[in-house]
Amino acid sequence: MAVQLIVNVFEDKVNGAILEEGVLQELFIEELQSISGNLYVGKVEKIVPGLNAAFVNIGESKNAFLKLLDPSKFYISEVLNGNTIKEGSKILVQIRNENVGTKGPLVTTKISLVGRFVVYFPLSRIRGISKKISDSVERERLKKIFENLGKTEGVIIRTASEYVNDELILEELSQLRQKWQEVLASFKRAKKPKLLMAEPTAADFIIRERLNKTIDEIIVNSQDMYEKFKQACKDLAKKPLIRLVEGDVFEKFGIYNHINQALERKIFLPSGGYVAIDITEALTVFDVNSASFVGEKNHAELAHRINIEAAREIARQLRLRNIGGMIIVDFIDVPSKEYRDKLVKELQEAVKKDSARVELIGFTKLGLFEMTRKRKQIPLDQVFFSTCPICKGSGKVTSPNIVIKRLLDELISLSKEDFSKIKVSLHQRFSGYHETIKQKLPNELKNKVVFSFDHSNPNEYLITLVKKG
């Protein structure tokens, strides 16, 4: 399966996309730049004993949330010089989860510095190798990296380290150690909440997170980007083809059309079924429907085929839309354990391509499938959409019948008033109702009421009274 990494530089913005067989899988938009992973000097504003947590001012628009059990003894000793955390304390924190809706970000004191080949933990004795590295001989080789660690530091070896020279990995580890010392020194000098270290630029993020052995071809439209990726590819065991093309490569490869499709609530499947996606503050729901697909006589086979297509599409949508948190999938009724096992296996295979951690929990007693995904970037919905000022995000407006009833009641109450004209401004959706409204008015009002359909709010109306003379 051909995998292409498309990097588009347009108006000084760097955006990226991953295509598999021409189908968009992931999107990196500079406006999507996440604060997850950023390091801050924070000030404890309030401790809430009932939550066993603290609210921390990090210099952003919303206070962050820190669990009081999060800091280790070594963190308190090394970073806070042995001082306990209390209101007014200066602390070093890292964004673990971004703010969603009205909630502030979740922060941690378990600091990690992410490189291309390793994740370095200066305060935690963590050891690990990416599960996506399956070669047992290679895993044994990479384990020797742990011999270079001190007793109080840790490392997780990332997928990009596979078949990469030891010297390159150890060089990056040394750079991350140096960066940590610089961060710690800056923290101890700081007097007020501020950002200490931000995640890399869009181009550096794409190289760090997505440039690996799975990429077959890189297409860029900037000479600077071409040289940058050419240099980065020198460290790869499998070197992808790099092409420099002119113009807007997102336009040439149909990325904009893919993005428009990604923002739709319904995603149609090859066999005619569809998946409806509803994203809430608490969780995301995928509802699988057969729609017009009724070609099979065997209902179980029909349901299974649509569910398999849906499982693949759901895995793609999670990556593409940067969906995180709790996820519920309402598959079409799965009649037997055999079909359920096949479906779960298909979903397991589909999420293997995801660089974020996805946990498949399983079916509930109600037949709903539960899973979770660690969000790594801002969800696509938050970048392209804002809450509707009319419906406040509910997706609903007041029924026309209710609005008309309120209007009639108010107009009838004016029937005995002495006005030459009554102007009523309604939303455009009521343009077909004005004759019905007039018929229900008392005779003394029918010639006085004048309608216009220029009101911006479909839930409301405006009455203007014009006095005689």
**Torsions phi, psi for 177 (to 5 deg):** -60, -45
User: What is the percent of the chain where pLDDT is above 70?
Assistant: 96
Residue 31's pLDDT is 66
Among 3.30.2320, 1.10.287, 3.30.950, 1.10.1740, name the CATH number for the domain at 400-467. Answer: 3.30.2320
Res 22 pLDDT > 80: yes
Averaged pLDDT, 395-399: 86
For tokens 């002495």, the residue is: 418
Q: How far is CA 400 from CA 86, 225, 458, in A?
A: 55, 55, 8
Residue 355: name the closest of 384, 380, 318 by CA: 318
Residue 371's pLDDT is 96
One-character DSSP codes across 131-180:
TT---HHHHHHHHGGGGG--TT-EEEE-GGGTT--HHHHHHHHHHHHHHH
Give 60-95 pLDDT, tens digit per residue: 888 999 999 999 999 999 999 999 899 999 999 999
Rounded to whole angstroms, the Cα distance separating 244 from 249 reads 10
pTM surpassing 0.85?
no
Rounded to whole angstroms, the Cα distance separating 359 from 378 reads 19
Which helix (H) or strand (E) element contains residue 66? Answer: strand 64-67
Q: Which residue has the higher pLDDT, 420 or 294?
A: 420
Please enumerate in sequence order all residues whose Cβ is within 8 A of that of 161, keeping only pairs 6 or more positions apart, or say none: 117, 118, 130, 133, 142, 169
Rounded to whole angstroms, the Cα distance separating 130 from 147 reads 17
Among 1.10.3720.10, 3.40.190.10, 3.40.50.10680, 2.40.50.140, name the CATH number for the domain at 37-198. Answer: 2.40.50.140
Stated length of the chain: 469
Cα torsion 413, 415, 420, 422: sign: positive
Give 166-187 pLDDT, tens digit per residue: 999 999 999 999 999 999 999 9
Rounded to whole angstroms, the Cα distance separating 83 from 99 reads 28
Exposed e or buried b per residue across 340-355, where buried means at least 16 C-beta atoms within 10 angstroms of its C-beta: bebbbebbeebbebbb
